[in-house]
Amino acid sequence: MVAQRRRIPRLYLERDLSGDTLTLDEREAHYLGHVLRLERGDELVAFNGRGTERRATVGSLQRRGAELELRTSVDALPASQLELTLIQALPKSDAMDLIVQKATELGASAIVPVYTEFSVVKLDAERAERRVEHWLKIAQSACEQSGRHVPPTITAPVELASYLEVLGAGDARLALDPDSTTRPRYMITTRSLMCSTTPRSWLMKR
């Protein structure tokens, strides 16, 4: 039996990767050792979402920090030419975590959580800020898993009506309904697309 080749893990670091070494803090070292399960001498790919990807080796790994030895550059996967914005009604529970993960893996360039007329979840400013930080980490992790280089932007939740008012007149828009029997009768040729996929009962009926 042929042994399967181990996939080289990827690590998103919002940092300059131009040097020969990179020091990681305690949180990053914990992620390296306990989540990615790497040890001293193991290889990985470090990337920063700014165009730089480097092969790296774990030079040292301790509880309070770690150090990466940065090596050759790696070409990042090309990004989609379609600027896809997902307009997502804010769901209850942790469903938004899965939505962010899958939207990132599928190439969405921006995710806009919105409150609709029938939304149950409402966040104050402080909770919204914490949730956005949480979703950004999920998007970064999805980039690590999928090979994508640049995570999507994620805004704080806004009212759907307010967001639609500021959209440009030239922006192509699609509202996707899983219960619809209608199929698109034309090909989308625009490079910018606003897409909403949410239960009909959550949308504003106006």
The number of distinct structural domains making up the chain is 2
Q: Are residues 100 and 143 in the same domain?
A: yes
Region of poorest pLDDT, from 10-19, 41-50, 93-102, 162-171: 162-171
pLDDT band of residue 151 (cuts 50, 70, 90) is very high
Alpha-carbon torsion (142, 146, 150, 155), positive or negative: negative
**Single pTM value for the model:** 0.84
pLDDT band of residue 165 (cuts 50, 70, 90) is confident
Q: Are residues 69 and 87 in the same domain?
A: no
Region of poorest pLDDT, from 46-55, 105-114, 155-164: 155-164
The domain that holds 34 is classified in CATH as: 2.40.240.20
Length of the chain: 206
Q: Evaluate whether residue 78 is within a structural domain.
A: no
pLDDT band of residue 169 (cuts 50, 70, 90) is low
Q: Are residues 61 and 142 in the same domain?
A: no
Mark which of 73, 91, 122 sits at the end of a domain: 73
pLDDT band of residue 163 (cuts 50, 70, 90) is confident
What does the pLDDT look like over 13-28, one tens digit per residue?
Answer: 999 999 999 999 999 9
Q: Are residues 179 and 107 in the same domain?
A: yes
pLDDT beyond 50 at 205? no
The domain that holds 99 is classified in CATH as: 3.40.1280.10
Q: Evaluate whether residue 5 is within a structural domain.
A: no
Q: Does residue 27 or residue 200 have the better pLDDT?
A: 27
What does the pLDDT look like over 33-84, one tens digit per residue?
Answer: 999 999 999 999 999 999 999 999 999 999 999 999 999 999 998 888 888 8
Residue 59 domain boundaries: 10-73
Encoding tokens for residue 82?
């379609």
Mean pLDDT of the chain: 86
Q: Are residues 56 and 111 in the same domain?
A: no
